[in-house]
Structure 1
Amino acid sequence: MTTPPNTIVFDLDGTLVDSLPDIIASFQHGLASMGLPVPTDAEVRPLIGHPLEEMYAHFAPEHVTALCAVYREHYARNFVNRSRPYPGVVELLRTLRERGYKLAIATTKRTDMARRFIEALGLTPAVDYVQGTDGFPHKPAPDVIHRALAALSAKGLWMVGDTTADILAGRAAGLRTYGVTWGNHDARMLATATPDELQPDLARLLAHLPPRPRA
């Protein structure tokens, strides 16, 4: 008997958690600590969601390795200074679990850091699996989604994210896509990736996901 799709895949930063201030602060710290010009928040923000190496290459390509090391050391000590789940996220995840869905996180963060992060925020019990991007192609490639679903032996229904890379990755993985505009990319940017849903928050996701029949 074929298993029907039963899993919702979420991006993490900018989708479930308002973590951009801590990410930006650590990114800027790396440059400042090496005496390099420090970009503004507005200059850093469009790059969030890309691998850290690519972000630093945009500003200081000759110092990428050292900058990444400084960032990771600083971020590991400061990653929940201001980061918090967006309003309604904890309740949404609880409701989806109660309705019989599996929940996975697929993030550009490395897996070890992503798991530490959601543990610190108290979200570990709310999801079934956390998959980071560890040495394989990052979004918009669908690899991180495929790996999360394979770990759960599950089929995906929706990919939920806040960037065009999330939407493109979800489509490449064969999922429906939900763009939320409270994160990194605004509505106009997200619309260029033509998500199936484009919303200011996650509330409408529940309308697409009624309770699943119990076995």
Structure 2
Amino acid sequence: METSRQLTKPQAIVFDMDGTLFKTETLLIPAYHNVFNQLREEGLYTGETPPEHLMLGSLGMLLEDIWKTVMPHEQVHVHRRADELLLKFELQGLQEATSELYPSVPETLQELHNRGVKLFVASNGLEHYVKGVADVHQIAPLFDGLYSAGEYATLSKVDLLRRLMEDHGLERIWMVGDRSSDVEAGRKNGQTVIGCAYAGFGKEDELKGSDVLITDFSQLLTLYEQAEK
């Protein structure tokens, strides 16, 4: 764990979902291949499935930007069909109970909740996906709100986090995430950023600008205990 300054206890902690709470690849990779199999069956896509690293490296982006990276030469209607199929196959995968949260996530969230910390999710994912992950893994009751770009039609996580803070009258939060979009959201809203350096999906400087880097989710408890009131 690396920290650049003394932290202050927040009114709430806001979490990204993919690569922060949820071990995304345990659900995403099978769904990703199913999407392209279906697109080929429907005559909307030809050729081989794009490399998995293109999808994993795009996590944290809005879906429309992900498909521009993964299949940049396809038309918009193919991208929107891919949206529908990805959600369908991910929800199916969740029901099969093969996906995973990162180690210590349920216990750490429960402990923070027990201490009266307000907890939220702010994700660039689709509404039913974000809520589905939280429901299936039985962490939904610990949160005061599950915010997604899919539900609120925000153009960036900066806007989504601002909306969340305004809705709940929050002035001092910790933004916890694994991507540059999380760092940007926290920074542009004037908040503390906790970078999660355990997923490994992003570039080397993905979390540049974070106030703290953690290598295990449970380290959040130590940070909270040591933070000034």
What does residue 34 of structure 1 align with? 39
Answering whether residue 212 of structure 2 is matched by residue 197 of structure 1, we say: yes
TM, length-normalised to structure 1: 0.85
Specify which structure has the bigger relative contact order, considering alpha-carbon pairs within 8 angstroms and separated by 6 or more residues: 2
| DSSP-derived class of the 2:206 partner | helix
* Structure 1 Cα separation of the partners of residues 68 and 54 of structure 2: 13
Kept in 1, the 8 Å contact 2:93–2:99? The answer is no
Shift of 1:19: 2.0
| DSSP-derived class of the 2:198 partner | coil
* Structure 2 Cα separation of the partners of residues 110 and 38 of structure 1: 22
More moved, 21-30 vs 118-127: 21-30
For each residue in 1:91-132, what CA deviation from the matched residue of structure 2 results, as whole angstroms up to 9, or x when unmatched? 111221222211110011123331222111101122211111
Kept in 1, the 8 Å contact 2:102–2:217? The answer is no
RMSD: 2.4
Alpha-carbon spacing, 1:212–1:21, altered in 2? closer, same or farther (3 Å): closer
For each residue in 1:139-186, what CA deviation from the matched residue of structure 2 results, as whole angstroms up to 9, or x when unmatched? 3xx111122223333333210001111111111111111111222535
More moved, 99-108 vs 151-160: 151-160
Answering whether residue 47 of structure 2 is matched by residue 47 of structure 1, we say: no
| DSSP-derived class of the 1:177 partner | strand
Answering whether residue 181 of structure 2 is matched by residue 181 of structure 1, we say: no
Which amino acid counterpart does residue 6 of structure 1 have in structure 2? Q
Shift of 1:20: 2.2
Kept in 2, the 8 Å contact 1:105–1:148? The answer is no
What does residue 115 of structure 1 align with? 131
Shift of 1:34: 2.0
More moved, 169-178 vs 15-24: 15-24
What does residue 81 of structure 2 align with? 66
What does residue 103 of structure 1 align with? 119
What does residue 154 of structure 2 align with? 136
Kept in 1, the 8 Å contact 2:31–2:89? The answer is yes
Shift of 1:5: 4.4
Which amino acid counterpart does residue 83 of structure 2 have in structure 1? C
Number of residues paired by the alignment?
207
Which amino acid counterpart does residue 135 of structure 1 have in structure 2? A
* Structure 1 Cα separation of the partners of residues 54 and 226 of structure 2: 42
Shift of 1:187: 7.5
- In structure 2, runs of 5+ residues without a counterpart are 1-8, 41-45
Alpha-carbon spacing, 1:66–1:171, altered in 2? closer, same or farther (3 Å): same
More moved, 129-138 vs 151-160: 151-160
Q: How high is the sequence identity, in percent, across the aligned residues?
A: 23
- In structure 1, runs of 5+ residues without a counterpart are none
More moved, 12-21 vs 107-116: 107-116
* Structure 2 Cα separation of the partners of residues 156 and 114 of structure 1: 24
* Greater than 6 Å deviation, 4+ residue runs: none
